[in-house]
Structure 1
């Protein structure tokens, strides 16, 4: 599932190439025809990411809320002025990857024929965007957006990230910290990769109850999450290891410390990395670096 940094990259891309543009909005597969009709011909005013949810605000007071889920992805294209990633969404391999685009051909004849089940298509004068496979895609009001965002925890990628609410929630609960980090009402944007890697970096066992964490440990989780997710926005993928930890090899050779490394030696101490099911998801940790 795309984690928060990918959704923030989406918001940046929409802001760059679609905000201020009058858009033709359609639903080539037909499942979103009624929603598309409410947006068609409108001007996109702004694009905002909160955790894993994207809110696209139009000038008629309508908002398109999108949650990509496990399979959702946006693809983009356009003329030579239309720059950015060609696709952002569900990773096709470990980590996140978005293919950069340097802009399309000068002679732009409009968007291509839809390929696959395109839920929503945006078309502007200079480019297009197709959405496929989202978990949620709905037109809501600005009041609905406010209500939806109020249910979410703090986003580490907000302009002035404040971890105080996150720390208070984590420390007040007996729920294991590994479960809390996946709860979007506690912290918005973390997925399975960031959870595993942040806890490893902080030396915290994912099964430790939140109430057993010290305040400085909870603050450390928040600080590392802010840092790593900002790196993800910049790089277009999740990379949590340092160059030293990767023995000087290129970044792509070893992006993570423990995520999906069950049975392999820990990159720091050599102990076998463990994994187990936690609340229907797989969690990874080093029993030596992250003791009980």
Structure 2
């Protein structure tokens, strides 16, 4: 499932390429025909992400809410103007200790986690790019415009020069402004939405009053927005925190540091397009980590392998119907 950084990056793509333009909407699959007809011909006024959900605001007080869920993805095609605020994934950004490192070639993720904006910005080019947790990279789209519909496209949004196709979302429907605000009100704080200090207070209060294991609380989108399975495992390891600890038993200073770590990691994810969770890497180590997620994480997807810190075998268990990776020694 796409985690918070991916959804924020998608929202930024819409902000650069669709906001301020009239949008034609259709539903090639047919499952969103009524909503597409309602939205088509309207100007897109705003694109925003809150955690794992994205909201596209159209004139006439109409909002399109999209939750990608486990299988959803956006495909962009046409003339894509990349957000210049997102750095290229060339090894120079995303970790403060790496700034100034002379790594001149872009780093391409062999697991396909890059998106267009992590390859180079700003630029204008005719490409096809998938925006999801498992980004497939760039493909030549040829001269046909609009591009042919491929697969089960729930929604196609089209300007004169840019196309966005949505496939496989968990949620996709039109909302009124009040419905959009009500949806957001049910979500926990997102470091990139509102005041991070206020978000820290909300997160701390929510965690400290619950007897639920912290591993489940971090995945509860009503407690904190945007954290998924990868960030959950990595944040708990970085805090050296036993995932089964009830929230109300986690010391307040540790809860606050979890929030501040999420602020840092989310910013890195949005900037690079990759869930980089390791610090203090040499330039060569950083380049390897940016190119392969096997070198990017402390515990995630490393079941049975030795802990990078203590050598203990990384444990894997199921909690809340999701896989949890952790070190029984470092996270006692």
2:187 to 146, 152, 164: 152
- What secondary structure does 2:126 align onto? coil
Q: CA deviation at 1:271?
A: 1.0
Q: Contact 1:82/1:127 (CA < 8 Å) preserved in 2?
A: no
Equivalent residue for 1:285?
A: 326
Query: Could you tell me how far apart the structure 2 residues matched to 1:226 and 1:113 are?
Result: 39
Q: Is the 8 A contact 1:95 1:237 kept in 2?
A: no
Aligned position for 1:268: 309
Matched ranges for 1:1-292 at <5 A: 1-79=1-79, 82-83=81-82, 96-99=113-116, 100=119, 103-104=125-126, 110-161=145-196, 162-244=199-281, 248=285, 250-251=288-289, 252-253=291-292, 254-291=295-332
Gaps of at least 5 residues in structure 2 are 87-108, 128-141
Confirm or deny: 8 A CA contact 1:200 1:286 kept in the other structure. Answer: yes
Contact 1:95–1:193, Cα closer than 8 Å, also in 2: no
User: 1:288, 1:116 → 2: CA distance?
Assistant: 46
Is the 1:239–1:255 Cα contact (8 Å) retained in structure 2? yes
Q: How big is the shift at 1:95? A: 8.4
Flag structure 1 segments of 5+ consecutive residues without an equivalent. 86-91
Distance 1:195 1:229 in 2: 12
Distance 1:17 1:137 in 2: 20
- Aligned-residue offset at 1:247: 7.6
Q: Say if 1:83 and 1:244 are closer, same or farther in 2 by CA, change over 3 A.
A: closer
Spell out, residue by residue over 1:243-276, the C-alpha distance to the aligned partner (whole angstroms, 9 max, x if none).
5389836223401110111000111111111011
Separation in structure 1 between the aligned mates of residue 209 and residue 31 of structure 2, nearest angstrom: 43
User: Residue 128 of structure 1: SS of its match in structure 2?
Assistant: strand
Under a length normalisation based on structure 2, what TM-score does the superposition of the two structures give? 0.81
Displacement after TM superposition at 1:155 (Å): 0.7
Deviations 1:139-197 (A, max 9, x none): 11010001101100101222531310000010111100000001000001000000000
The total of aligned residue pairs comes to 283
CA RMSD of aligned residues (A): 2.2
TM-score, reference length from structure 1 = 0.91
Q: Which has the higher contact order (CA 8 A, sep 6+)?
A: 2
Shift, 1:237, TM fit:
1.4
> Matches of 2:216 and 2:269 in 1, distance apart?
22
1:108: how far off?
6.4
